[in-house]
Chains A and B, each alone.
Chain A
């Protein structure tokens, strides 16, 4: 029979050794946990192949590059952003499916894109408490009573139009009642700021001499411009997209119109230099961000990251939108858990937050989701944007959501 005698001191030594081993493992695990990055999942709905992909692709690239950059520098301590991207081809049903997919994968916030998907998701995101930063800048999305979880980083379409009118009145108008005309597509995007524009134009003393519809896919705008030429507007607001603006500008040049054209944020980007190089010269483009060659920290950073390969303003806005969202996630992480409501609260606590100088400073309030009232104006000259400065409006309560 085998007998084993173990001394008491050996038992104590064994116990101490075991305890030390457990402690070491625990410390190792603890240290591991301390260094482990927590991933926060965000959804990115992009149009990479649909009707708006010409601007959707650079915007989405901006968003994704910002995610990469923010993870590289560890912008949110101990947290990495995991961006789940879906190309919804500008189809509302696919956007809803993508949203559900992200939701089932644990999304806490969403980078959205166009009017159709953003508006279709308004009620879903409010119910599911998922904050959205989109590139649909309709004013009604800035009213938290109607769209509590919707945000964006650009001045809304109505504010842009009002800023253009204010600039005309203060800087360009030679008479007390300058003649003004509107050209816009007869679709939700085109119609969104028109009521606000008409009202503010009347308030400032403009004489609205005409309104014409030019479709986003128009190949010709001569008949509309002939009608406007008869009433001789001094200033024309164009609320389309770059291809339709190019058609309008070229036809206006062909007819010899003397009016100064103003284009809203989607109405003229860098493609206008190729589509209507001469005709667009002298027109004024309204933007919410700096251009690629600007002298700001963010623009320098983007130039460095993209190796000097020119990026459109849409890329810069995409980058800025993600940067603002990341700041809200960082603030939410500081406060505790990163959840949708926490990110919303963090967004609503932002006061004059500067996204590296890429856009005017951003502030959101509990009862007001307008990011700012500032619009940057650029004159198009010789295939480049020439900065005319930033027009800032008063944050009037009666303008909220309209």
Chain B
């Protein structure tokens, strides 16, 4: 592990810690306390953006395990999130309480994800991408036409989550609930990456033949990656459904899958922290552009209207610029930033 000068580990256990050193721990604790306090000084709008960030973090981190760590490109992640959302709605409608419903939504998405992951044994790269795109299209069709379960084109209402009689029916309570699952997802993903499963995923990504030669069961681990990733995507979908309280097929389209891919590319492929950065960046981008357009409308009305028209294009532009100028993502930029301050003022 890369640490700053002067930090020595005396045991493997110490080396395996996620947070190293007092400063890092206290910095993280301060950030976390600020995050916990944020709903008390932010308005509902900002809290709702934080909720969407939490949900996006779960989905992006899960895709990062599949694509970033295991190298299995998925263009169907938005649909796997949709499976979780519809499963949560369906089980909720059947009277299953929130927490078991959430678990079942994850399991349903994991089964669907593993099923659509079967072609990954024979397909790689762009071919696998097309295969998962097919999964996206098939699942969209199912959402729209399986009226008895999904409500078809009319969609279906979902109740607010409730645990032991406490209803999470405000933005503030939903923030804490989604934050809990986002933190859990980050911790689980970080730890999975450090286990033999994570190492097997990375081996498959880096060179599948070598991985197989050293005893990694390709089919098993690829399916595991799909199932694990889809499980977390399903949980994200279930939280989305319970937060918005009404689901239709429209949000779970290919654009959502592309958004998640953009998150992990912009954040940094293969890094859990990168996926978190990417989720925050992509969720905030349209809101920030809206703010910018609002701010400029008083001074440059023409510019703000062009900015509005270019909003969708900006998303693509940002992605291209990241690929050209920062292919390793925001996580790399963050590392450079930290290094700069570690060495400051002796940069050379």
Contact = CB atoms under 8 A, between A and B. Distances in A.
B309 interface: yes
Contacts of B43: 104
A120 B287 contact: no
A100 B308 contact: no
B259 to A, nearest CB: 9
B136 to A, nearest CB: 15
Contact of A123 (B52, B246, B249, B283): B246
Nearest 8 A/B pairs, CB to CB: A123-B245, A188-B153, A100-B48, A101-B45, A104-B43, A191-B153, A116-B250, A100-B45
Nearest to A87: B308
A96 B48 contact: yes
A97 interface: yes
A138 B157 CA distance: 15
Interface string A78-102: 0000000011010111101100110
B311 A87 contact: yes
A120 B311 contact: no
B251 interface: yes
Contacts of B245: 122-124, 127
Contacts of A120: 244, 246-248, 251
22 contacts: A86-B290, A87-B311, A89-B312, A91-B255, A92-B250, A93-B52, A96-B244, A97-B45, A100-B44, A100-B48, A100-B49, A100-B171, A104-B45, A116-B250, A116-B251, A119-B246, A120-B244, A121-B246, A187-B144, A188-B250, A189-B153, A190-B153
Interface in A137-183: 138, 140, 146
Nearest to A116: B250
A74 B255 CA distance: 44
Given A93-B251, A97-B287, A103-B44, A188 B144 contact: yes
Given A97-B48, A188-B250, 8 more contacts: A50-B312, A94-B286, A120-B247, A122-B245, A187-B153, A188-B153, A190-B153, A192-B153
Contacts of A187: 144, 153, 249-250
A216 interface: no
A223 interface: no
A119 B312 contact: no
Interface of B: 43-49, 52, 141, 144, 152-155, 157-158, 169, 171, 244-251, 255, 283, 286-287, 290, 293, 308-312
A186 interface: yes
Nearest to B309: A49
A59 B55 CA distance: 32
| Main DSSP-derived SS at the A contact region | helix
B312 A49 contact: yes
A48 interface: yes
A224 interface: no
B154 A140 contact: yes
Nearest to B240: A93
Contacts of A91: 255, 286
A186 B45 CA distance: 34
B286 A89 contact: yes
Residue of B171, B244, B250, B290 with most partner-chain A CB within 10 A: B250
Given A49-B308, A93-B52, A100-B171, A191 B250 contact: no
A115 interface: yes
B249 A188 contact: yes
B275 to A, nearest CB: 18
B152 A191 contact: yes
B148 to A, nearest CB: 14
Contacts of A124: 244-246
B258 to A, nearest CB: 12
Residue of A50, A119, A122, A189 with most partner-chain B CB within 10 A: A119
A186 B157 CA distance: 22
A93 B255 CA distance: 12
A94 to B, nearest CB: 5
A189 B153 CA distance: 7
Contacts of B244: 92, 96, 120, 123-124
A123 B157 contact: yes
A192 B154 CA distance: 7
Contacts of B155: 119, 188
B251 A92 contact: yes
A334 B60 CA distance: 51
Contacts of A191: 144, 152-153
Nearest to A92: B251
Contacts of A48: 308-309
A140 B157 CA distance: 12
Contacts of A115: 248, 250
A121 B48 CA distance: 13
A123 B286 CA distance: 24
Contact of A186 (B144, B169, B309): B144
A52 B11 CA distance: 60
Interface string A181-211: 0000011111110000000000000000000
Nearest to B310: A49
Nearest to A122: B246
Contacts of A190: 153
Residue of A93, A97, A120, A127 with most partner-chain B CB within 10 A: A93
Nearest to B143: A188
A122 B46 CA distance: 21
A106 to B, nearest CB: 11
Nearest to A194: B153
Nearest to B47: A100
A50 B141 CA distance: 23
Contacts of A121: 246
A122 B157 contact: yes
A182 B261 CA distance: 38
A121 B243 CA distance: 11
Contacts of B47: 100
B248 A116 contact: yes
Nearest to A48: B308
A48 B169 CA distance: 31
Nearest to B283: A93
A226 to B, nearest CB: 24
